[in-house]
Structure 1
Amino acid sequence: MARHLIKTDVAIRNTKSTDATLRLSDGDGLYLLIKPNGAKWWRLDYSIGGKRKTLSIGVYPDTGLKAARNKADEARQLVAAGTDPSDVRKASKVQQAKVLEADKRIADGLPAVDSFEEVAREWFTKFSAEWAPSHADKIIRRLERDIFPWIGKRPIAEITAPELLAALRRIEERGAVETAHRAHQNCGQIFRYAIATGRAERDPSPDLRGALPSVKQTHHAAITDPKAIGELLRAIDGYQGYFVTKCALRIAPMVFVRPGELRKAEWAEIDLDKAEWNIPAGRMKMREPHLVPLSTQAVEVLRELHALTGDGRYVFPGARTNGRPMSDNAILAALRRMGFAKDEMSGHGFRAMARTILDEVLQVRPDFIEHQLAHAVRDPNGRAYNRIAHLAERRKIMQQWADYLDKLKAGADVIPLHKKA
């Protein structure tokens, strides 16, 4: 039981302040500090976990002697049970803040707690500026169509793994297994953001690992046989459709960038005199700028096209307006029109074509190929190479590749493609 050294409240009132802070001890760590300005503060010293700590009990006379002793006894009981009273006080303040926030939200006509949709939209607003617009659009549409209708209004801190799985199952049941996996990934990112910002305590998404069927791996159709590549190139030269689309088809095998990077190319990015195309980070999948050396053949095609579209923003504008790039289906449609089936050749197929031939026929160093494909390539110290790394070598490779394509198109004898042992 605590030893009480301060006799009564009268003793406190009779104690006058001085130029220095006075300390009236009541025993067992409880004391009253009397400041030079007359202010009186209750304090409790205690030890927990081998550390000496101090807890504020209140201000005298609002907290009288009896009340201060009661508060001190409650704090000592917590310490005896292994609980730090300072932590309890902090948790209480957090809870009080939540109550006040809930009251404010209700007054504003909002739910009393953070819903999944509110947190998700906050997360999206914060991070989507760093994404490509097309990628951001896919994510928000996926959430709005497949997640918000089912768990969007639920308090994010209360959502369970079975609830999340039920929403994902709806996506899976319509045959969109890959979309279900992507939605699962996005929900995990949102839950982790909620934890970091104090709106949830755990992320239920890892509990669903293995609950969704695996995604069947599909590969973009690509022509990689040299003889068949020659036939494709001759078909492109004979294409009778929209001239801009024809130029895109002629350029695609020479530069082997991703279809979205090609169709959104801007004249401001291309220096025909230097024979370079600098693609900004915002349009690249890896969010890093990429430099594409242009062969003399590629420059020739671009100079011809510049006479038609050079006054506009886009190298390959749409057929109806030059204010927007060509559609993402233009090259695919052209390939189908030329008679190449969807399981035979795709827009992405030009990348696989180049990667295969450069490696297995032209014997180009694999790291040079990966770098020109804008894949993540790192130096021996684990650092990402910058966009001009190995530029001299890559210029030679891109010219060598364009010259090889010309030989295939002309029907010259070529080295047959054999798989490496």
Structure 2
Amino acid sequence: MPLTLKQIENASPKTKPYKLSDGGGLCLLVSVTGAKLWRWRYCFDGKEKMMAFGEYPALGLKDVRELHFEARRILISGSDPMAKRKAEAQDKQKAIRDEQRESEKSFEKIARCWWDWWAIGKSPRHAETVMNRLEADVFPAIGHLSADDIQPGQVRNIITAIEARGASDVAKRAHQTIGQIFRFAIARDLATRNPAGDFKPRDVLAAVESENFARVDETDLPELLVKMDNYEGDALTRLGLKLMAYCFPRTSELIETPWTEIDLVRARWEIPRERMKMKTPHIIPLSRQAVDVLKALKLLAGRSRLVFPGANDKTIPMSNNTLLYALYRLGYKGRMTGHGFRGLASTILNENDFDEEHVDLQLAHMKRNKVSAAYNHAKYLKQRTAMMQWWADYLDTQLEKGNAATLNH
């Protein structure tokens, strides 16, 4: 007779294991500990075998009968149910191992390994920004894919999607980061090719109007500052280069400055909207070093209303190319421009844990609508003042480093 739930529940352990039959070779084995185990006795190829299904009550009566029925169907078809189950288990384990191996080569897995390796020595804020951008823009698109399955078109789609939201600079950096990750993978036999290397951002991103962004690397900054400090040309030009470095304004904003914008007592340089590229007012907090430079410029300017008057006509600003040509004479043609100080400041400040919004505001890069334009120019002024003093101190440290290197040679 088939078993009933009442019989199963009432089955108590005895001094020896015993079985309760359900028919067709299926039985419930009651152990001396009270465990109730489903077993099926059958014959295959002339040999008697015992197949385990599971334990009651985790495996109920209805469920075990379904398993028993399926096992008998396999036996009738001419196969050994236990051998088939073992083969299926091995196939499943193999699939799991294969999936694990593939996951080791997934782009996201490789990218996170790259980040752990790359982030050593980087500022925490900069490293976090890079990972945040990968998680927001890159992993959702290709993170789950095996590195060798990723095609150039998928990388293109990522950076054009970033560009579409108005972040072309971020799109370029995303392309650069993806390329770095693939090079890391290739060097470790985790990938065989770099799909980001098949094209450059300018091949797919819209051209944007830009200034000459040529600039030296941070490692070359000490030597540049030494050469600027020892510039043997016009004193006005030498001081202009120093003020450009300390304050990193746009060149036109620097050379056209009237003294009415400079407040040496409050240590502020306030540029009206008419003179700004973004057509909104801009405040540059003046570091102690910048104030000293401006005091020296005041002596040179005499009665001129301009901080940087022309060499022949004191009523007009110096030539727009004066500072650029001075850099040429110092040996930096094609390597450094006035705008280059802005790029250096942006990179170094961001990599030294300064808030990205504070840096963008100081560069006058922040997008502002007409309602907020009158107010945002003074936003985070306390934090920006501290940041500008840190920057000036940093430049002085680099100058000292450059001077020490010159003496050692």
TM-score range, shorter chain: 0.3 to 0.5
In proportion to residue count, which structure has more helix?
Answer: 2
Higher relative contact order (CA 8 A, sep 6+): 2
Q: Which is higher, the Rg of structure 1 or of structure 2?
A: 2
TM-score, length-scaled by structure 2: 0.46
TM-score, length-scaled by structure 1: 0.44
